[in-house]
Amino acid sequence: MKLVLLALSLAVAVMSQDILRLPPPPAGERVLYGQDPLQFGELRLPEGSGPHPVAIIIHGGFWRAAYNLDHISHLCVALNQAGVATWSLEYRRIGDSGGAWPGTFDDVAAGADYLKTVAAKHSLDLNRVVAVGHSAGGQLALWLGSRNVPDAIKLRGIVSLAGVADLRRAFDLKLSNTVVADLLGGSPDSVPDRYKATSPSERLPLRVKQRLIHGTLDVNVPFEISKDYAAAAKAAGDDAVLIPLEGARHFELIDPRTKEFETVKATILELLK
């Protein structure tokens, strides 16, 4: 029986890895939030007249240009079917002109805040907005919630899906080779202020609800990163909850075909109540 369960688990993991190659659903309405061709979001609306709660979706891919928002669009459609509007952000990444530090962060902030510009036209409820990010997008979602900017979009909560919540640790672990140094332009010793400005673990408390969902068998971003971050966030006074997914790996969290996604969806809906 144990061998059968292990085989099923591996089959699901392989299937979820295919989310990167699965043809995306029809694109949402593309809205530019800046002048660069990569400064856009895809807006998808649920059925009904609204006002709709909104999830700002930030895709992963270790901040690299090789990965765009297509692979997370299935998650967006699934949330639409659950009654949630989605604002999926594209942004300049490592390898793009103007990407990495500081352009990647500038784009995510500008894209998230642009939601206020389109809210009235599309009947979006700005009192019910969450940020949801996967992997590198989880880091960006947590960072988004850490901004102390008067005109920033107000978040009801943040859902980090296997997020890289500690950039110093990610650098030390050499996650995806030198990607953190590529993102920030150096090591924690050479550009310490950039790590302090962008690593969620160094910006606590965020003073916004945080839900850290992470598979215990994740080999892309180790589970312990979310575990330790959640403990530090709670110690700092934040409402932060770790939701471990036993036996799950990296991509089940954004694949609506998996049982793990049901936990993700339920968590988002709970924050939007």
User: For 95-110, how does the pLDDT look when each residue is reduced to its tens digit (9 = 90+)?
Assistant: 999 999 999 999 999 9
- For the CA atoms of 172, 176, 178, 182, the dihedral, rounded to the nearest 10 degrees, stands at -120
Give Dmax (Cα) for the chain. Answer: 56
Q: Which pLDDT band, with edges at 50, 70 and 90, does 20 fall under?
A: confident
Does residue 266 register a pLDDT over 80? yes
pTM value is 0.93
Q: Which pLDDT band, with edges at 50, 70 and 90, does 21 fall under?
A: confident
pLDDT at 17: 60
Pick the CATH number of 2-271 from 3.30.499.10, 3.40.50.720, 3.40.718.10, 3.40.50.1820: 3.40.50.1820
Q: Which pLDDT band, with edges at 50, 70 and 90, does 232 fall under?
A: very high
Mean pLDDT of the region 127-155: 97
Q: How far apart are CA 245 and CA 265, in angstroms?
A: 13
Q: Which pLDDT band, with edges at 50, 70 and 90, does 5 fall under?
A: very low
Q: How far apart are CA 112 and CA 131, in angstroms?
A: 9
Query: Per the structure block, which two tokens stand in for 121?
Result: 């036209």
Does residue 12 register a pLDDT over 50? no
Mean pLDDT of the region 16-44: 92
**What rounded mean pLDDT belongs to the chain?**
94
The domain spans of the chain are 2-271
Residue 81 has a CB neighbour count (10 Å cut-off) of: 12
Cβ pair 116, 101 in contact under 8 A:
no
For residue 128, give Cα distances in angstroms to 86, 149, 166, 169, 226. 12, 19, 27, 32, 25
What are 174-218's pLDDT values in tens digits?
Answer: 999 999 999 999 999 999 999 999 999 999 999 999 999 999 999
Alpha helices in the chain (DSSP H): 2-17, 73-81, 103-113, 115-118, 136-146, 167-172, 179-184, 192-198, 223-235, 259-271
Mean pLDDT of the region 41-62: 97
DSSP structural state of residue 252:
G
